[in-house]
Structure 1
Amino acid sequence: MRRGGRASAALLTVLLLSVVAGCSGGGGTPAPDPSATAVWQPRPGLAWQWQLDGKVDPSADVPVYDIDGFENDAADVARLHRAGRKVICYVNVGAWEDYRPDRDAFPRAVLGKPNGWHGERWLDIREVSVLRPIMERRFDMCREKGFDAVEPDLVEGYGNETGFPLTARDQLVYNRMIARIARARGLAVGLKNDLPQIPQLVGDFDFAVNEQCAEYGECARLTPFIEAGKAVFHVEYDVPARGFCPESRRLGLSSMLKRPELGVWRDPC
């Protein structure tokens, strides 16, 4: 479970209104980035496996795998490709992790409060000149290992207690930068959670990854991705499959029940 805490509904409403009012062009879809290259476009309804706990187990018979970019190597990705799978590279872009090999690349000034996960601290995403080259190197790693896409995690720090006065505008700038970095490398990129900013960001991202929208009654907010012909990869942890699968099928989500450690086990819709 990677939400990193939830802002209150009132706060999210205020933040969304401020974004709509404050963004240039009324918060509409930005013009295409001319530096981007053609990327994989996952369509709604694709089944998937999400395994972030250790080396990938390729036993799930599904067309899409989302796995940890650091813990899996090019041979793991190639094995999945030989089986006809597309492979998404999980990378944390919103928090520092003390167990990653590039942990010393982050200046202490950009490290904020702990985010509730052992060894992790929020990042000051306003420091784009500091964070951009680090994230570029991480996405280079994904490309060099042969991944088809990236799942950038923790891209909604503005709604959490990070230790920094982050705004919705700061998050939009950072998230769009992350999307451009991915697409410039030929990698599709997914928007992780950050439901209030979907109307502003659906044009920048190629798919969505969501946790627990059914538990919190939020799944309908993901429809802009489905209407744009883009997959929504969705998991629940505490709601039984029978409690969310009917709505997931109606909305066109790619849904499954997972345990929070995100191991091999899955119960798909």
Structure 2
Amino acid sequence: MLCALLAGCSTKPDDPDDDTDARPSPSASPRGERWQPKPGLDWQWQLSGRLDPDVDVPVYDIDGFDHDASVVRKLQARGVRVICYINAGAWEDWRPDADDFPKRLLGRGNGWEGERWLDIRQLDVLRPLIAKRFDMCRQKGFDAVEPDQMDGYENRTGFPLTARHQLDFNRMLSRLARERGLAVALKNDVDQVRELLDDFDFAVNEECAAYRECEKLKPFVDAGKAVFHVEYRLKAAQFCEQSRKLGLSSLVKRLDLDAWRQSCADAR
């Protein structure tokens, strides 16, 4: 009943019989149906400050390292689906596993303090490191994972990344998540939406209205998959009407992604 009320469930996880993927760890959850968020769901995205657990929405997106299983359980106890935010394409110097990443993988800074782009061509090295993070999300009981920094090929990373490298890396992320029974988001990377649509269960996007890219996310909505979207610089009146027409789940947020939010669902 909860699955139907909140967004339904999707098809069974993908068959992992592909020699480019890591097998799930022995602790991975049994295969079954994974969550499939539907278009139009309201949501809360909070990555900084003291978590406000009382926002009346059916979906939360929170930092996977910063919150333990009890936080996830409390949200789920009132019918909330919970997404695990994990940085996948960039290294963060404050994470507990930061020393596990070989220095040769670290590229230019990405504009955020303490972060550097990763060499996503090195799939064999990155796969077990990211798999461990996804295992953490699964063990804490999250419903889905949001891997961040999935468009390095469009940035100055310090590595000669191509669109092909990005597709291979992003598909690896998808398979690792789905093997663990987790729904998985395509974060930004709007120029590869059509190639990656089948590999991802929903999308998370920053500032598609400011960059006039929201139409590129329409294939997700057309496929019955949610697009969770935020704007930082625009006011609700500048983009919410278009967002509603496109079927996006849109918010205005501050850049530090604290508890404050304004939802397009309320800005009518």
TM band (smaller chain): 0.7 to 0.9
> Sequence identity of aligned pairs in percent?
63
Q: Does the CA contact (< 8 Å) of 1:231 and 1:253 recur in 2?
A: yes
| Contact 1:56-1:72 within 8 A present in 2 as well | no
Q: Give the structure 2 partner of residue 247 of structure 1.
A: 242
Matches within 5 A, 1:130-141: 130-141=125-136
What secondary structure, in the 3-state scheme, does the structure 2 residue paired with 1:234 have?
strand
Answer whether contact 1:214 1:244 (CA < 8 A) is retained.
yes
2:47 matched to which residue of 1?
Answer: 52
Say whether residues 1:34 and 2:29 are aligned partners: no
Q: Structure 2, unaligned stretches of length 5 or more?
A: 1-12, 17-30
Paired with 1:111 and 1:136, the residues of 2 have a C-alpha distance of 18
Are 2:220 and 1:215 aligned?
no
- The gaps in structure 1 that reach 5 residues or longer are 1-31
- Separation in 2, partners of 1:183, 1:54: 30
Contact 1:235 1:257 in 2 (8 A): yes
Q: Which residues in structure 2 correspond to 1:98-117 (within 5 Å)?
A: 98-117=93-112
In structure 2, distance between residues paired with 1:180 and 1:52: 25
Q: Could you tell me which residue of structure 2 aligns to residue 64 of structure 1?
A: 59
Write out per-residue CA displacement over residues 162-186 of structure 1, whole angstroms, 9 at most, x where no aligned residue: 0000000000000000000000000
Contact 2:49 2:259 in 1 (8 A): no
Structure 1 CA distance for aligned equivalents of residues 53 and 14 of structure 2: 35
Contact 2:45 2:60 in 1 (8 A): yes
- How many residues align structurally? 238
SS at the partner of 2:199? Answer: coil
Aligned to 2:253: 258
Per-residue CA shift, 1:175-213, capped at 9, x if unaligned? 000000000000000000000100000100000000101
TM-score (norm 1): 0.87
| Residue 204 (structure 1) aligns with | 199
Residue 56 (structure 1) shift: 2.4
Which string of whole-angstrom CA distances, capped at 9 and with x for unpartnered residues, describes residues 39-85 of structure 1? Answer: 10000000000000045211210000000000010000000001110
CA contact (8 A) 2:232 2:253 kept: yes
Aligned ranges 1:1-269 → 2 under 5 Å = 33-35=14-16, 37-269=32-264
Tell me how large the CA RMSD over aligned residues is. Answer: 1.0
Report the Cα distance in structure 2 between the residues aligned to 1:111 and 1:54, rounded to whole angstroms. Answer: 28
Deviations 1:211-269 (A, max 9, x none): 10111111111000000000000000111001111000100000010000000000001
- Given the superposition, is the C-alpha separation of residues 193 and 260 from structure 1 closer, same or farther in structure 2, using an over 3 Å criterion? same
- For the residue of structure 2 that corresponds to 1:203, the secondary structure is helix
**1:34, CA displacement in angstroms?**
1.4
Do the aligned partners of 1:37 and 1:183 also contact (CA within 8 Å) in 2?
no
Q: Does the aligned pair in 2 maintain the 1:105–1:134 contact within 8 Å?
A: yes
Give 1:15's aligned residue. none
Q: TM-score, normalised by structure 2?
A: 0.87
Contact 1:54/1:71, CA 8 A, preserved across alignment = no
